[in-house]
């Protein structure tokens, strides 16, 4: 029988990196020591996903990010279920989870997945989120960050007992064999009617300002006269979808935006170069998946990305929001197949430094430290 029950709280209005991370913990943490459940604060796709996988799922829907009306129900449920620790992910979860922990005198761990000041569409919302975070951070017993860059940022807001635990990546056997990657490349190009001889610049990301995807489209426009077979493939969903589609149409680019894909990594072989042009990034777990797909990488040197990609070794790093520099880096790879191949070769080894087992082990140890005092 497990020694401790842990409740993971998360918004869950979409399925992004934080949700994938929580899913990995729910499925991977040692069940003989810890019994995990997830509480979703938005009635959305993540609760549907965890329920479909028969994972213990609770719902405490918030009408807006500052809605405290679900708090009494949350407190009551934590009491009933006998949870030992609350683990929060994101601003909504931090607000409700930390208040519940304080009321119940339970330890709270918060994982910081991204830079809070960059997470919001409006500066006013970002300032409010930062103020609330500073106010409630003293209610935590520990903070996990997915990169050292984020650890420094959250320390400046007054966090104590910070532990950096890099996201671990699943080994993706479907991408290991060259023949299987070739099959997936043909399958997805045919499915989305992308010509076999197209030069595909691809990304997998939320369609959100923090991901800098407008920069990718501008860089592609710069290159399209030299490379008329250029095609942009962006897998993901989010608030900027219509704006990005308008931009791509305005540039007369060949593009495909297939939306959210549950196992997006299977479509990576349809790409020729993987691009992550983020303005802000916690760690960039998708880069490790792209390495397994044997893709050359171009990414921005922001947040935790330089902790994953060693410059000019595992990928090319550029400043954010600089479409000209991005275009130059892409052209380097398009003109230099030997450079692209060297990056792929290094990346195929680099992803193995971020093991899933190590992430789970460190997370379990942090739980024990906090619970056993």
Domain that holds residue 62: 4-168+355-371
Question: Between the CA atoms of 186, 228, 294 and 311, what dihedral angle is there, to the nearest 10 degrees?
Answer: -170
- Based on the domain organization, do 56 and 121 belong to the same domain? yes
The pLDDT tens digits for 330-342 are 999 999 999 999 9
The pLDDT tens digits for 197-234 are 999 999 999 999 999 999 999 999 999 999 999 999 99
Total structural domains within the chain: 2
Return the pLDDT at 15: 84
Tokens linked to 360: 């789970």
The pLDDT tens digits for 250-304 are 999 999 999 999 899 999 999 999 999 999 999 999 999 999 999 999 999 999 9
Alpha-carbon separation of residue 130 from 65, 100, 123, 149 (angstroms): 13, 19, 11, 17
Percent of the chain clearing pLDDT 90 (strictly above): 89
- Based on the domain organization, do 209 and 137 belong to the same domain? no
- Based on the domain organization, do 205 and 143 belong to the same domain? no
Tokens linked to 101: 């922990």
Find the CATH number of the domain harbouring 50: 3.40.50.2000
Q: What beta strand segments (E) does the chain contain?
A: 4-10, 34-40, 57-59, 85-89, 108-112, 142-145, 162-164, 199-204, 230-235, 255-259, 273-276, 297-300, 316-318
- Based on the domain organization, do 194 and 137 belong to the same domain? no
- Indicate the pLDDT class of residue 26, thresholds 50, 70 and 90: very high
pLDDT higher at 284 or 71: 71
Tokens linked to 356: 């899933």
**Strand order through the sheet with 230-235:** 255-259, 230-235, 199-204, 273-276, 297-300, 316-318
Return the pLDDT at 58: 97
Can you give the pTM of this predicted structure?
A: 0.87
Tokens linked to 134: 């500073």
pLDDT tops 70 at residue 322: yes
List of residues 6+ apart from 124 with CB closer than 8 A: none
| Residue whose tokens read 């007054």 | 158
Return the pLDDT at 121: 66
Computed over every residue of the chain, the mean pLDDT equals: 95
Return the pLDDT at 354: 94
- Indicate the pLDDT class of residue 166, thresholds 50, 70 and 90: very high
- Based on the domain organization, do 298 and 215 belong to the same domain? yes
- Based on the domain organization, do 213 and 143 belong to the same domain? no
């Amino acid at each position: 029988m497990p020694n401790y029950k842990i409740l993971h709280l998360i918004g869950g209005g979409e399925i992004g990196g934080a949700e994938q991370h929580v899913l990995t913990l729910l499925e991977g943490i040692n069940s003989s020591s810890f019994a995990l459940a997830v509480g979703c604060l938005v009635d959305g796709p993540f609760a549907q996903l965890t329920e479909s996988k028969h994972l213990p799922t609770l719902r405490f829907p918030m009408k807006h990010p500052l809605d405290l009306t679900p708090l009494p129900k949350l407190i009551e449920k934590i009491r009933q279920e006998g949870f030992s620790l609350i683990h929060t992910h994101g601003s909504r979860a931090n607000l409700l989870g930390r208040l519940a922990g304080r009321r119940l005198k339970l330890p709270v761990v918060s994982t910081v997945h991204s830079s809070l000041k960059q997470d919001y569409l409006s500066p006013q919302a970002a300032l409010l989120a930062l103020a609330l975070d500073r106010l409630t951070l003293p209610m935590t017993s520990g903070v996990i960050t997915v990169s050292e860059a984020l650890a420094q940022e959250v320390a400046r807001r007054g966090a104590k007992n910070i532990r950096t635990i890099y996201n671990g990546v699943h080994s993706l056997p479907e991408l290991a064999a060259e023949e299987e990657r070739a099959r997936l490349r043909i399958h997805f190009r045919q499915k989305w009617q992308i010509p076999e001889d197209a030069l595909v610049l691809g990304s997998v990301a939320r369609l959100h300002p923090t991901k800098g995807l407008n920069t990718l489209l501008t860089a592609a426009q710069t290159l399209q006269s030299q490379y008329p077979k250029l095609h942009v493939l962006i897998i993901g969903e989010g608030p900027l979808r219509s704006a990005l589609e308008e931009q791509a149409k305005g540039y007369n680019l060949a593009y495909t935006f297939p939306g959210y894909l549950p196992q997006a990594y299977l479509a990576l072989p349809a790409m020729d170069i993987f691009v992550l042009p983020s303005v802000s990034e916690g760690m960039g777990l998708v880069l490790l998946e792209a390495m397994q797909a044997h893709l050359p990488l171009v990414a921005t040197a922001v947040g935790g990305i330089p902790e994953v990609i060693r410059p000019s070794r595992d990928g090319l790093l550029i400043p954010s929001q600089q479409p000209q520099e991005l275009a130059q880096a892409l052209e380097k790879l398009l003109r230099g197949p030997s450079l692209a191949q060297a990056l792929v070769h290094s990346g195929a080894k680099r992803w193995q430094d971020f093991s899933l087992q190590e992430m789970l082990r460190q997370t379990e140890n942090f739980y024990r430290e906090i619970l056993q005092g």
